[in-house]
Amino acid sequence: MAKLTSSLKNMVLSLSFISIGMSAALGYVYVSTKGPIEKANSQKVTDAISLVVPKFDNNPGTEKYMVEDLEFYPAKMGGNLIGTAIKTYTNKGFSGRFTIMVGLLPDGTINGFSVLEQKETPGLGSKMTEPKFKDQFNGKNPSQYKLIVKKDGGEVDAITASTITSRAVCDALQRAYDAYQKGGKKWVHLKH
């Protein structure tokens, strides 16, 4: 076989064939992993929902609806609403935005919350995932419980050395409650 001479035409052809081959390989990997990734993301949402609302027998992911820019997942048992999981967020975290899934009972009482994504300081802000902080919200209704840290005149015990993160969690929970009162609660009642 004769050796190819190095010319602009040969280099362009070689790079073109390599680019086409790599594009095809990348496309194949994308198509073959798209389904499993979507399934894993769906399972992550279902798992987060099951952590924050009472036991349910429907698939809240298929009944998802939006109020403002928040995702609502109605949890039902025997066709009756037992809670609503709300994917909410705040931009007030020490390290910026984080998202949580909060479960509200039909009357707006907080059943629990789970942190979905956060980049808070390890050992400080990341303590928002610990029961000592999280559990203080369970059973509290924001209509009567001030979702403000004690330092600012509210009722929430802040994480030691991480007041900013504590304020941010309160902000995310309040955002979810306000959206629930504004449209989420009304929408659920209209569906029955």
In a domain, 45, yes or no: no
Residue 123 lies in a domain: yes
Question: Is residue 72 a part of any domain in this protein?
Answer: yes
pLDDT of residue 191: 46
Give the span between the Cα atoms of 145 and 165, in whole angstroms. 19
Does 23 fall in a domain? no
Classify residue 97: in a domain, yes or no: yes
Whether 6 is covered by a domain: the verdict is: no
Number of domains in the chain: 1
**Which residue type is seen at 121?**
T
| Host domain of residue 166 | 51-191
Kindly state whether residue 16 falls inside one of the protein's structural domains. Answer: no
Note whether residue 41 is domain-resident.
Answer: no
Residue with the larger pLDDT of the pair 28 and 162: 28
Average pLDDT over residues 183-191: 54
Q: What percent of the chain has pLDDT over 70?
A: 93
Exposure string of 134-153, with b = 16+ CB inside 10 Å and e = fewer, is beebeebebeebebbbeeee
**4-57 residue pLDDT tens:** 678 888 889 889 999 999 999 999 888 888 888 888 877 888 888 999 999 999
pLDDT of residue 186: 52
pLDDT at 1: 62
